[in-house]
Amino acid sequence: MTFHEHVYLGLNNTIDLQLKADGIALTAEQMQSITKIVLVFKELSISSDEHPDSFDWTTREDEGVVIMALGTLPILPAGTDPLAYLKIYDSENPNGVYWGNFILTVEENK
């Protein structure tokens, strides 16, 4: 993944990421098998187990989209991480699958 996403602290903006394998969006069945998602930002791991309201992979599962609402997380520091990434867990991959780097910038409320 080579793209840049933004989180605005204190705001309800979301990041909508389409998960793809070999260039094809995950199917609804594949999305339903997800058990946990972890965002790694500046060596901080933010887990859907600990912050379930911040990760939604069911609303747009037919499109293979994960919706992340991170602006209201008090643990998220401002700054940019050019190597942020997701780990996706499911029953076949209990240790998680690395889902690629992207640039993530967290900004103070504008």
Structural domain total, the chain: 1
Q: What is the CATH number of the domain that holds 22?
A: 2.60.40.3350
> Is pTM, for the whole model, over 0.85?
yes
Please give the pLDDT value at position 93: 95
Residue pLDDT, tens place only, 14-71: 999 999 999 999 999 999 999 999 999 998 999 999 999 999 999 999 999 999 999 9
Alpha helices in the chain (DSSP H): 28-32
Residue pLDDT, tens place only, 93-107: 999 999 989 999 999
Please give the pLDDT value at position 25: 97
Q: Which domain holds residue 17?
A: 4-107
Higher pLDDT, 110 or 39: 39
Buried b (16+ CB within 10 A) or exposed e, 11-31: eeeebebebeeeeeebeeebb
Please give the pLDDT value at position 109: 82
- What phi and psi, each to the nearest 5 degrees, are found at residue 68? -115, 125
- What phi and psi, each to the nearest 5 degrees, are found at residue 99? -110, 20
